[in-house]
Structure 1
């Protein structure tokens, strides 16, 4: 029996089943990839291949990873993947195509701002400003800012048909870099580092933080510079050896520091040209949440049929230490991460 046809007369490709599917087949072709490679500067030595009819996000060929075309064409991502992106995948236990485009944009823009102010943004830094949450679409993730710390107000509200354009790439040093990263049994974000507070306040009040100033060119050039520079980085404060009084005092200081960061951000936004449109809605596929919501970390699931788990760490006077369980790459959809 021939495939069904749409009302326009075009043949409709069947959906591809999967644990987090069904998925739409990729609409990319060899011709699309040639154009895409040229426009995003992906070097010829990195293999880019389009999925065959039976291949989807969940079943890349052995030794390959998967990514959406929009990450590179409209979010500034490049190969080798930035260290911060790779560490997120390892420490929080998710695969690249689980991210929504605005997730990638937020990470890349914050990293760019940091580099332009001679600072290397860490995963712990990022998680002091944004939380990672599960979206409405099963298996997808988006980011939500903490109260008063939403750096980018004007990210695109909707990206058209981006889920239909994905491709495969080999997992090697050309695509993941020369990082020797092992999956931690325990990831502690710690308390906010004063150095990060200072740098964040500086680039928010003095830097160019309007989304429309972050061209892919600006982001990619910053990423290249970052690989060759020795920059200041944070050293989060661990609470593991503090007594209750010490930790409470540090958390009160952290709360004050974040208020100062929010004030600096408000100052920076006041310098931006006023736009008629309101602030952007949450990323499509995400679920709205209170900006003052709890600090969250994405922990690994142990069964691919189970939903992703959000582990909550309160910033209250009675903090709870949490440990992200070891991540099994077989437990996550289409994860093709390098071996340790």
Structure 2
């Protein structure tokens, strides 16, 4: 190949080299396009997440809620049940959701009133929770309303002044999720071993029915603000809590059995929230910090080694098994001899003697036949029992000939041939 001429612009690269360079340029341009498309795709997904999470007033997004299925008459009945004015409530249109609540109104779910006994005006403890976490009322699951109503009721019945600090000392708040899309709503789980209430029933369909209520002194206490914008609490710290000791003391004070939600009736919750209306009286409330935990130290069972030592010591103090009986009798004798009682005398066993047999007057004496004594068919009368007056010293055996191998007592035989019934002195039946 001829070298390139000066000023001709030729580089002296072979055709194969040019084709290789062209392929490299095409690959480089394709990689750049792919990277740009990937970045655009990621940015689009992130933008959608941000828009879904940062929903504001007037947004067309419906969020996790579908249009409400409540009718006008149902809304009126709910307002009457909640001690509110029916003019202060209205149904939601098809394009209105809890996330699109207008200014001057707040959204409330049907389950709050019908199943959780929420009444107007809203309780201060509920407003404190919403204000601290910057949440809208419609972001709370029904279980939160139950916990707050039950917490207020038990505190009123026990005479304890409670607030957000005491509530969050026994409970925490977490974001909920479900197959229907519950992102943005929150529930109230209890802290470990501090469960005051047990819920009954399911609230899976609680998002389907809701309506708007106007902010008014009869619905929201004067001077209290109520947010209508949905927000996220991931960056919000929890309020200060009681110490572990005081938290346990508060739990023991408020806990009772049964603690199911069925025991918290409408009148019971209403009496705690509105004592004047229900003509109810309660104890004067004291601060929760004044509660003292009264716990007894658990009784520890002695270890196996300690029990073995105590058993051995007790056995040694009593003496061996062979001497326990004699020691007991000696101590019993000392007790009987003490004082003015007559001393116990040793009773010597009496030697067994043959008793004299005296024939009855009307029966003639019977002669003993010496030959009958050698009769093998002798009848031996029962032996006399030995004396057992003293268990410590056994009686000695009798030295009489009858007690050394012979029979004890006298053997009697009939001296005349024939039956004894033939004798004239034997009584005959008439």
Higher relative helix content:
2
Of 265, 275, 278, the residue aligned with 1:225 is 275
- Number of positions where the alignment pairs a residue of Structure 1 with one of Structure 2: 222
Provide the secondary structure at the position in 2 that maps to 1:169.
strand
Q: Where does the alignment leave 5 or more consecutive residues of structure 2 unmatched?
A: 1-57, 228-235, 299-430
Residues 47-85 of structure 1 deviation map (CA, whole Å, 9 limit, x = unaligned):
111112221111122210011011011101111100000
Could you tell me which residue of structure 2 aligns to residue 86 of structure 1? Answer: 127
1:182 deviation in Å?
11
CA–CA separation in structure 1 for the residues paired with 2:242 and 2:204: 38
After superposing on structure 2, the runs of 4+ consecutive aligned residues of structure 1 that deviate more than 6 Å are: 193-196, 226-230
TM-score by length of 2: 0.46
CA–CA separation in structure 1 for the residues paired with 2:121 and 2:260: 26
Of 57, 60, 67, the residue aligned with 2:108 is 67
Provide the secondary structure at the position in 1 that maps to 2:173.
strand
Is residue 2:183 matched to residue 1:138? yes
CA–CA separation in structure 2 for the residues paired with 1:55 and 1:175: 21
Contact 1:125 1:192 in 2 (8 A): no
Q: Where does the alignment leave 5 or more consecutive residues of structure 1 unmatched?
A: 1-15, 237-252, 264-340
CA RMSD across the alignment: 3.5
Of 159, 173, 177, the residue aligned with 2:221 is 177
CA–CA separation in structure 1 for the residues paired with 2:205 and 2:111: 10
1:232 deviation in Å?
2.4
Provide the secondary structure at the position in 2 that maps to 1:144.
coil
Contact 1:28 1:50 in 2 (8 A): yes
Cα 1:83–1:161 shift into 2, 3 Å: same
CA–CA separation in structure 2 for the residues paired with 1:147 and 1:211: 19
Cα 1:55–1:188 shift into 2, 3 Å: closer
Greater relative CO, 1 or 2 (CA 8 Å, sep 6+): 1
Of 238, 254, 260, the residue aligned with 1:203 is 254
1:209 deviation in Å?
2.5
Residues 220-277 of structure 1 deviation map (CA, whole Å, 9 limit, x = unaligned):
23111399986323459xxxxxxxxxxxxxxxx9xxx6x96xx9xxxxxxxxxxxxxx
> Where in structure 2 are the equivalents of 1:276-295 lying within 5 Å?
none
CA–CA separation in structure 1 for the residues paired with 2:212 and 2:113: 13
Cα 1:102–1:187 shift into 2, 3 Å: closer
